[in-house]
């Protein structure tokens, strides 16, 4: 019949063909090549971690668990909403406990618009709201809404919920908001709501994120400066390796062209090197030789004049940006020193004031946020992602994580090797086994996050002697390498 649904296929009792038998999936006892890593404890749906015992209990009582969780969520909220947000206008949909749409409206991102949202939301409190972001001005306004609990939605999960409502691939503001609100009603028991942070910690988090953005801008300006010097000034590139140093910028400002450098003379060269503390024996004579041969290989006058102006402009931009970065760092360290967990994060080996403040900003002070060290490791991107289907078992690097925290842990693991003996031995043992530098640091960061989570939960500082006692108690193989 045209337009009717296809009947569900019926499993036949007839024996399968030879070809079908050969392609049947492997049984539960099929041999699988195991990785050196432990089995993943991540729930395939919610993404949360669980032990094998919890996994078995969940499989045996999944229907009862889902029913109880849904009833618990419906007992907390009278209605469920969602906002499809944008830069200038937002679209909201609110459904009741049965899934019927009770309100639908759009409002601008203005004072009157958010007043309209709060007036509408007040009619349906207590209200749970889903939104496809976890930060920004929209989240800030939602957290200020009375009797409103905000549930952030992962973009990949949002795409799946949208496709569940519209498999054809259709997309609209109404469809997005409606599918998110209904998903919160049905599946929200496994979601984690956002909570307001301490104002000091919130400011620290924003300042650390903005500092990283400014550092990226500085890196871009340094690359642009090097590109400009490459066009006309090979002597400058040969004389300085690190162009993030203000002394290198001062050289371009003082000697903008090779001709100006050659005409300045040796006495002025020496004065510049001594003034900027560059008179090291290993590089002093080499730089003087390069300065003396500056005009042997140079560009045309037109190219030199044009690109020298660009290079000087870049150095001035870098100086202004560096001044702002130093001001950011002073403010961050001031806020970091006022937080009660300052000593805890400051005691981490190799962290220093920069890494320690970023770790505190990303973890926050809500101890209930991560139920286990594995949850923090997944959030920080150090825990691998496993893929298993029949006899196929693969492990890959986790990409869906907090990338700022992952980068911070990566830097922390690298710096910890210089001050912590067991960390360096663990890193070197992985390198000897053929692991790359990045993989070894991820594995080391995995161990550090486990230690940090325990310190964070118990509010205790890092104690090297206590950590060594735990290694002895658990028979750590790293300790055997430390004391052969």
Contact 266, 252 (CB under 8 A): no
Burial pattern 223-243, b for ≥16 Cβ within 10 A else e, equals ebbbebbeebbbbbeebbeeb
Residues 154 and 400: their CA atoms lie apart, in Å, by 10
Q: Set out the domains of the chain in order of their start, with CATH numbers.
A: 66-190 (3.30.420.40), 202-336 (1.10.287), 346-482 (no CATH)
Q: So what's the pLDDT on residue 333?
A: 96
Residues 249 and 239: their CA atoms lie apart, in Å, by 12
Are β-strands 101-108 and 89-95 bridged in parallel, bridged antiparallel, or unpaired?
antiparallel
Closest to 135 in 3D by CA, of 351, 376, 361: 361
111 or 61, greater pLDDT: 111
With 0-12 / 13-18 / 19 or more C-beta atoms within 10 angstroms meaning exposed / middle / buried, residue 441 is buried
- Reported as a pLDDT band with limits 50, 70 and 90, residue 26 is very low
Q: So what's the pLDDT on residue 197?
A: 83
Long-range contacts of 404-408 (CB under 8 A, 24+ apart): 404/209, 404/212, 404/358, 404/362, 405/359, 405/362, 405/363, 405/379, 405/380, 405/381, 406/380, 406/381, 406/382, 408/355, 408/358, 408/359, 408/362
Q: So what's the pLDDT on residue 71?
A: 59
Percent of all residues in the chain with a pLDDT value above 90, rounded to a whole number? 71
Residues 364 and 208: their CA atoms lie apart, in Å, by 13
| pLDDT per position as a tens digit, 73-106 | 778 899 999 999 999 999 999 999 999 999 999 9
Provide the whole-model pTM: 0.79
- Residue 167 phi, psi (nearest 5): -65, -15
Long-range contacts of 30-37 (CB under 8 A, 24+ apart): 30/390, 30/391, 31/391, 32/388, 32/391, 32/393, 33/393, 34/393, 35/386, 35/393, 35/395, 37/384, 37/386, 37/395
Residues 6+ apart with CB under 8 A from 323: none
Q: So what's the pLDDT on residue 282?
A: 85
Q: So what's the pLDDT on residue 144?
A: 92
| pLDDT per position as a tens digit, 234-262 | 999 999 999 999 999 999 999 999 999 99
Q: So what's the pLDDT on residue 335?
A: 96
| pLDDT per position as a tens digit, 319-336 | 999 999 999 999 999 999
Structure tokens of 245?
């140093």
Contact 299, 257 (CB under 8 A): no
| pLDDT per position as a tens digit, 187-223 | 998 898 988 888 999 999 999 999 999 999 999 999 9
HSE-up (13 A, CA, CB side) for residue 388: 17
450 or 71, greater pLDDT: 450
- Reported as a pLDDT band with limits 50, 70 and 90, residue 181 is very high
Residues 352 and 418: their CA atoms lie apart, in Å, by 12
183 or 62, greater pLDDT: 183
């Amino acid at each position: 019949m045209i337009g009717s649904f296809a009947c569900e296929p019926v499993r036949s009792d007839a024996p399968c063909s030879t070809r079908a038998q050969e392609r049947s999936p492997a049984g539960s006892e099929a041999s699988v090549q195991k990785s050196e890593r432990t089995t993943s404890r991540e729930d395939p749906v919610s993404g949360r971690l669980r032990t094998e015992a919890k996994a078995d209990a969940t499989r045996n009582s999944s229907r009862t668990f889902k029913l109880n969780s849904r009833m618990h969520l419906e007992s907390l909220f009278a209605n469920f909403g969602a906002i499809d947000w944008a830069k200038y206008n937002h679209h909201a949909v609110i459904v009741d406990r049965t899934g019927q749409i009770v309100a639908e409206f759009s409002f601008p991102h203005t004072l009157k618009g958010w007043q309209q949202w709060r007036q509408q939301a007040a009619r349906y409190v207590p209200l749970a709201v889903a939104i496809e972001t976890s930060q920004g001005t929209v989240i800030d306004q939602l957290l200020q809404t009375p009797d409103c609990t905000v549930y952030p939605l992962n973009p990949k999960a949002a795409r799946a919920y949208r496709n569940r409502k519209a498999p054809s691939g259709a997309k609209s503001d109404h469809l997005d908001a409606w599918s998110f609100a209904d998903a919160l009603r049905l599946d929200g028991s496994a979601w984690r709501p956002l909570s307001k942070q301490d104002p000091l910690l919130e400011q620290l988090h924003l300042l650390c994120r903005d500092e990283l953005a400014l550092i990226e801008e500085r890196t871009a300006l340094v690359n642009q400066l090097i590109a400009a010097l490459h066009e006309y000034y090979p002597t400058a590139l040969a004389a300085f390796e690190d162009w993030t140093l203000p002394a290198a910028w001062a050289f371009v400002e003082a000697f903008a062209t090779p001709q100006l450098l050659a005409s300045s003379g040796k006495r002025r060269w020496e004065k510049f090197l001594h003034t900027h503390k560059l008179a090291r024996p290993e590089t002093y004579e080499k730089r003087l030789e390069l300065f003396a041969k500056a005009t042997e290989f140079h560009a045309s006058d037109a190219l030199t004049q044009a690109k020298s102006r660009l290079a000087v402009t870049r150095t001035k931009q870098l100086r202004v940006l560096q001044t702002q970065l130093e001001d950011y760092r002073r403010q961050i360290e001031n806020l970091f020193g006022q937080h009660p967990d300052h000593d805890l994060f400051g005691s981490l080996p190799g962290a220093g004031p920069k890494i320690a403040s970023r770790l505190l900003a990303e973890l926050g002070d809500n101890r209930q946020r991560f139920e286990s060290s594995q949850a923090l490791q997944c959030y920080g991107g150090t825990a691998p992602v496993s893929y298993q289907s029949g006899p196929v078992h693969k492990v890959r690097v986790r990409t869906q994580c907090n990338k700022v925290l992952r980068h911070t842990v990566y830097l922390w693991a690298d710096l910890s090797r210089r001050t912590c003996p067991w960390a360096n031995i663990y890193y070197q043992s992985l390198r000897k086994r053929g692991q790359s530098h990045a993989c070894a640091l991820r594995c080391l960061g995995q161990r550090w996050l486990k230690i940090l989570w325990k310190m964070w939960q118990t509010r205790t500082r890092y104690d090297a002697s206590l950590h060594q006692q735990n290694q002895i108690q658990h028979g750590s193989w790293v300790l055997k390498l430390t004391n052969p």
